[in-house]
Amino acid sequence: MQVGIDEIGFYTPNKYVDMVDLANARNEDPNKYLEGIGQSQMSVADQTQDAVSMGINATLGYLDHVDLNQVGLLILGTESGVDQSKSGSLFIKSALKLPAAVRTFEIKEACFGVTAGLMLARDYVRLHPHHSAIVIGSDIARYGLNSGGEVTQGAGSISLLIKAEPRILAINNGHSAYSADINDFWRPNNSATALVDGKYSKAVYLDFFERTFADYQRIKKWSPAQFEAIVYHLPFTKMGFKANNLAMAGQPAEVEHHLANNFTASAWFNRQVGNIYTASLYLSLLSLLEKADLAPGATIGLFSYGSGAMGEFYSGQLVSGYQQKLRPIADEQMLMRRQKLSIPQYETIFNEALKQPIDNVELASDEAAGYWYFAGTKNEVRQYHQK
């Protein structure tokens, strides 16, 4: 029995900043952002979008095709949690009207959360093959205005339906994992923005990739030629580009060609959206599937990394007919609907989003009809409404 990804849903907020505008405002050469970092645009979440609302919206992209009575598990991976105790997945479960019997919880390990949830969901479905599981990654990456990490911010969510006999990607047996207690990136409880040792974090990311990729090849007795594409967690696209160069090193020209071209395809969405932490790897996967021309049966490698730090490499096989489960037009429209912000507008929205809402004052959203949003708190209880 194969288990894997049967549906993919995507959501990003309805506002963005152009990296040329941001570079000019910060007195930087635009090519530093466009080429050196590899980012073109950055989605911006206002006060009415959070990990919960974005997770709801991503899942609604495919929920009409799901038998809700078969859903047995809902996992939210996030490092942008809305409560120190209550799982954000409970708000999502309520909005999606999932059955009361669904087991649900939240996972936190920096950007690794969704992969941890996916592996738990895979094992759950193997034991309960008539059930499905929903795994959501939803995050807002914030480093602060005028900070070194500002250009690598972003916001968005990816939702995955995990099932037996999946129709997009079947997960292969075997994986390689590596973890260590390090301080390359963290966000204390008293901080709304992340702290990062950028140079160190880049080095750790590449080190963890080399370790897990080499170990995976040893376990499977494979070489890089086995992979039609490798997708990466992308805190910014140039980071994955460097890892992909390591994977291609010493390989025949044909292998380098398809790994390089498919990396470009996988990074396209990230260039427009920015870093979305837990969901970043799976945004790369979605971008690859929609922007590249891959044959059924192609082997895709996936490198997941969460600072602090946890790395894992695994792979999957594309299922025949996977293209029919994708929504490239809708996903493109998701990006096209966004409003371009001036830098003063962006800075105002950024600062407002850091503030705690005033209790019993309802927030208004300018999202399109049908989308969910955070409407503030009522007697200190978070409220979520559908536009």
- Residue 230's beta-bridge partner residues? 301
- The pLDDT assigned to 294 comes to 97
Q: Catalytic site residue 111? A: yes
- The pLDDT assigned to 160 comes to 98
- The pLDDT assigned to 325 comes to 97
Q: Say if residues 34 and 19 touch (Cβ distance below 8 Å).
A: yes
3-state class (DSSP) for residue 180: coil
Cα(111)–Cα(312) distance, integer angstroms: 11
Angle at 22 between CA 20 and CA 26, to 5 degrees: 115
* Selected catalytic residue, list 175, 228, 233, 367: 233
* Selected catalytic residue, list 7, 106, 111, 150: 111
Taken in order of first residue, the domains within the chain and their CATH numbers are 3-169+326-386 (3.40.47.10), 171-321 (3.40.47.10)
Q: Catalytic site residue 233? A: yes
pTM of the model: 0.98
CB atoms inside a 10 Å sphere around CB 173: 8
Preceding peptide of 243 cis, ω within 30°: no
3-state class (DSSP) for residue 367: coil
Q: Say if residues 303 and 213 touch (Cβ distance below 8 Å).
A: yes
Q: Say if residues 115 and 304 touch (Cβ distance below 8 Å).
A: yes
Which contiguous run of DSSP H or E holds residue 164? strand 154-164
* Closest C-alpha to 232, from 258, 251, 254, 213: 213
Q: Catalytic site residue 228? A: no
Successive 10-residue mean pLDDT values, the chain, 387 residues: 98 98 98 97 98 98 96 98 97 98 98 98 98 98 95 98 98 97 91 88 97 98 97 97 97 96 98 98 98 97 97 98 97 97 98 95 96 98 97
CB atoms inside a 10 Å sphere around CB 39: 28
Alpha carbon 254 to its chain centroid, in Å, reads 30
- The pLDDT assigned to 186 comes to 87
Which contiguous run of DSSP H or E holds residue 57? helix 51-60
* Selected catalytic residue, list 7, 79, 228, 290: 79
- The pLDDT assigned to 31 comes to 97
Indicate the pairing of strand 310-318 with strand 299-306.
antiparallel
CB neighbour list of residue 147: distance below 8 Å, 6 or more residues apart: 193
